């Protein structure tokens, strides 16, 4: 089944992480695809507390949504062990209709590649019967290649002579035989005896005729071997050339890539050169896949579901190249465009997880306790324990419903969650400014708005000078017209708004005078409803 990634915005908060996980759980109950919860950034302290409390693993980190090799590669690669013969590889190519076979050791590390061109160049277009002088091989390999029976000799015995076809009279044939050669002939006993008396290494009897006991004993006396094969004499002689070890002929000129390599990085190599495939190795050098030109033609964009955002600037790198199949969000609709119709649930509620619970109910699925706990945490985090003006009756009802599954007082859990979050003294000014920063394009202006939720804003304001310094540096580095930090005091139900950049916009938007670049805004706790609209209007 297809893999579809579900993720929230950059700088993920508890809602962004928990909604992705809970929604992926719901979607995986429908068995129409594999849904993978993901994140675009690091997990903050509050979210870490939540995941640890409910023993839920971290979602996968997703650095981008460009198409990767892992999204298009063939994973069931037909490979061959380094112990096989050229004939074995040729049979694999014929049976599976493939043009290249990687040769691997026991750990599946690639030793080289046999391609159709290598086979053609070395054997299939040869008219003469070659010998084994340059490529010695073992009797066991020859026997297997000839589909034969080793009547006299040991499989591990190595032979290296030339191959002689015994198609002439014995007295003429022996002139072409040297000690150590291999002789292929039919059921002519006088010719068999003459060949063995030349101290050959191996007598190959074609037509599936067993030699007489006397011939077998003569072979033992001479230290020769006997193989019986059902093939005719010329076919047997030609097949011997294919019994050499595959390592004698592997090519080393091939492209190797990793599962995370971007398709756009290898397209030129596979389309604009003679290369027709690339081997995919993991971090340990183990063969895990292959990419061919056919894979490139059949590739499709990565499929994603967005939660808690719908703006390109807040989403993954490459989102414009992805196929967005759903959006669940409680913010304003961003500027993303889609090529296909999709499910979009964008509603003015306090938290995305409220919409996730709505989807659970629509699909008739009861969330397990861990998923209920994640959604409780997300809703209480986004609504500041249901005190934010963004809180709706649906959010309150969701907490009531989920609390029954959770089996404890949701608000008591919420207070523990906030206590785990508010270890401000250990956080650097940079982290305070950027850990929950969202970027907005308001007209021609770029505005960054960060938020820190605390039980006592004075703990943060005691470090105001170093926070302002960090904000000035961040504003300059990222070219913000205005950079704001909301220090939201849950107990006082208000926000100290710190501003750098075009600060007159703040004074105009809220009718306040900034003192040392900040002002307290009573009753203001919501970035989305109480900060962004006035700033947008003022700009």
With contact defined as beta carbons under 8 Å apart, do 26 and 365 qualify? yes
Residue 252 has pLDDT above 70, yes or no: no
| Residue that has been written with the tokens 């809970």 in this structure | 22
128-132, 161-165, 436-440, 497-501: least confident range: 128-132
Identify the architecture of domain 3-67+302-421 in CATH: Alpha-Beta Complex (3.90)
250-255: list long-range contacts, CB under 8 Å, 24+ apart: 250/103, 250/111, 250/112, 250/113, 250/114, 250/118, 251/112, 251/113, 251/114, 251/115, 251/118, 252/112, 252/113, 254/112, 254/113, 254/278, 254/279, 255/279
At 123, is the pLDDT very low, low, confident or very high (cuts 50, 70, 90)? low
**pLDDT tens for residues 23-78?**
999 999 998 899 999 999 999 989 999 999 999 999 999 999 999 998 889 999 99
- The angle subtended at Cα 81 by Cα 75 and Cα 82, nearest 5°, is 130
- 535: number of CA atoms within 13 Å, CB side? 27
The CATH number of 136-243 is 3.40.1390.20
State the Cα torsion 316-319-322-323 to the nearest 10°.
100
CA gap 249, 190 in Å, rounded: 37
**pLDDT tens for residues 275-317?**
788 999 999 999 999 998 888 877 788 999 999 998 888 898 9
**pLDDT tens for residues 4-26?**
999 999 989 999 999 999 999 99
The full set of domain ranges for the chain reads 3-67+302-421, 71-121+248-298, 136-243, 424-538
pLDDT of residue 167: 84
With contact defined as beta carbons under 8 Å apart, do 360 and 367 qualify? yes
261-269: list long-range contacts, CB under 8 Å, 24+ apart: 261/68, 261/69, 262/66, 262/67, 262/68, 262/69, 263/66, 263/67, 263/68, 263/69, 263/71, 263/72, 263/296, 263/299, 264/66, 264/67, 266/69, 266/291, 267/296
CA gap 460, 468 in Å, rounded: 11
With contact defined as beta carbons under 8 Å apart, do 43 and 12 qualify? yes
**pLDDT tens for residues 482-496?**
999 999 988 788 999
Q: Please, what is the average pLDDT of the chain?
A: 90
CA gap 126, 149 in Å, rounded: 27
pLDDT of residue 267: 84
With contact defined as beta carbons under 8 Å apart, do 341 and 41 qualify? no
HEC readout, 41-102: CCCCHHHHHHHHHCCCCCCEECCCCCCEHHHHCECCCCCEECCCEHHHHHHHHHHHCCCEEE
CA gap 381, 265 in Å, rounded: 41
pLDDT of residue 133: 63
3-class DSSP state for residue 528?
A: helix
189-193, 213-217, 275-279, 437-441: least confident range: 275-279
Residue 467 has pLDDT above 90, yes or no: yes
Helices 393-406/369-382 angle, 10° precision: 150
| Residue that has been written with the tokens 């190795």 in this structure | 281
Q: What is the CA radius of gyration of the chain?
A: 36
Q: Which residues contact 89 (CB under 8 A, 6 or more apart)?
A: 80, 101, 103, 114, 119, 246
The CATH number of 71-121+248-298 is 3.10.580.10
At 510, is the pLDDT very low, low, confident or very high (cuts 50, 70, 90)? very high
CATH H superfamily, domain 424-538? DHHA2 domain (3.10.310.20)
CA gap 456, 251 in Å, rounded: 68
With contact defined as beta carbons under 8 Å apart, do 134 and 122 qualify? no
On the 0-12 / 13-18 / 19+ scale of CB atoms within 10 A, 502 is: middle
Q: Which two tokens stand for residue 3?
A: 């893999």
Residue 125 has pLDDT above 70, yes or no: no
Residue 129 has pLDDT above 60, yes or no: no
């Amino acid at each position: 089944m297809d893999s579809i990634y579900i993720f929230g915005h950059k700088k993920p908060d508890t809602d962004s992480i928990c909604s992705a996980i809970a929604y992926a759980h719901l979607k995986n109950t429908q068995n129409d695809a594999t849904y993978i919860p993901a994140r675009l950034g690091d997990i903050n302290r509050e979210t870490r507390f939540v995941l640890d409390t409910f023993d839920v693993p971290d979602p996968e980190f997703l650095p981008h949504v460009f198409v990767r090799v892992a999204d298009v590669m063939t994973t069931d690669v037909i490979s061959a062990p380094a112990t096989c013969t050229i004939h074995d590889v040729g049979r694999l190519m014929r049976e599976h209709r493939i043009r290249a076979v990687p040769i691997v050791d026991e750990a599946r590390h690639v030793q080289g590649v046999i391609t159709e061109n290598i086979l053609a160049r070395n054997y299939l277009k040869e008219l003469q019967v070659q010998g084994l002088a340059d490529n010695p091989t073992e009797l066991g390999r020859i026997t297997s290649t000839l589909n034969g029976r080793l009547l006299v000799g040991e499989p591990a015995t190595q032979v290296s002579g030339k191959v002689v076809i015994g198609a002439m009279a014995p007295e003429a044939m022996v002139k072409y035989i040297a000690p150590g050669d291999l002789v292929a002939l039919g059921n002519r006993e006088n010719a068999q005896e003459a060949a063995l008396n030349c101290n050959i290494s191996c007598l190959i009897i074609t037509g599936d005729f067993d030699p007489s006991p006397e011939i077998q004993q003569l072979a033992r006396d001479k230290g020769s071997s006997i193989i019986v094969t059902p093939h005719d004499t010329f076919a047997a002689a030609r097949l011997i050339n294919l019994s050499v070890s595959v390592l004698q002929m592997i090519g080393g000129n091939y492209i190797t890539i990793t599962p995370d390599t971007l398709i756009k990085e290898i397209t030129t190599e596979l389309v604009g050169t003679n290369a027709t495939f690339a081997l995919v190795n993991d971090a340990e050098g183990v063969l895990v896949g292959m990419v061919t030109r056919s894979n490139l033609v059949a590739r499709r964009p990565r499929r994603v579901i967005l939660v808690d955002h719908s703006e390109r600037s807040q989403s993954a790198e490459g989102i414009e190249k992805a196929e967005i199949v759903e959006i669940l969000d409680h913010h304003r609709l961003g500027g993303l465009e889609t090529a296909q119709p999709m499910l979009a649930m964008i509603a003015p509620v306090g938290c995305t997880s409220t919409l996730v619970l709505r989807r659970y109910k629509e699909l008739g699925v009861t969330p397990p306790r861990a998923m209920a706990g994640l959604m409780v945490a997300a809703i209480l985090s986004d609504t500041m324990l249901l005190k934010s003006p963004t809180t709706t009756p649906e959010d309150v009802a969701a907490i009531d419903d989920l609390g029954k599954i959770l089996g404890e007082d949701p608000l008591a859990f919420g207070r523990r969650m906030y206590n785990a979050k508010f270890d401000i003294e250990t956080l650097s000014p940079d982290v305070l400014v950027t850990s929950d920063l969202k970027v907005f394009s308001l007209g021609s202006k770029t505005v960054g708005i960060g938020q820190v939720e605390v039980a006592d804003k004075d703990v943060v304001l005691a470090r105001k000078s170093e926070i302002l310094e960090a904000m000035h540096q961040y504003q300059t580095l990222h070219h913000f017209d205005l950079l704001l930090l909301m220090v939201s005091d849950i107990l006082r139900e208000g926000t100290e708004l710190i501003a750098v950049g075009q600060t007159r916009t703040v004074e105009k938007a809220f009718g306040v005078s900034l003192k040392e670049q900040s002002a307290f805004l009573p009753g203001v706790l919501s970035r989305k409803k109480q900060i962004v609209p006035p700033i947008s209007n003022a700009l």
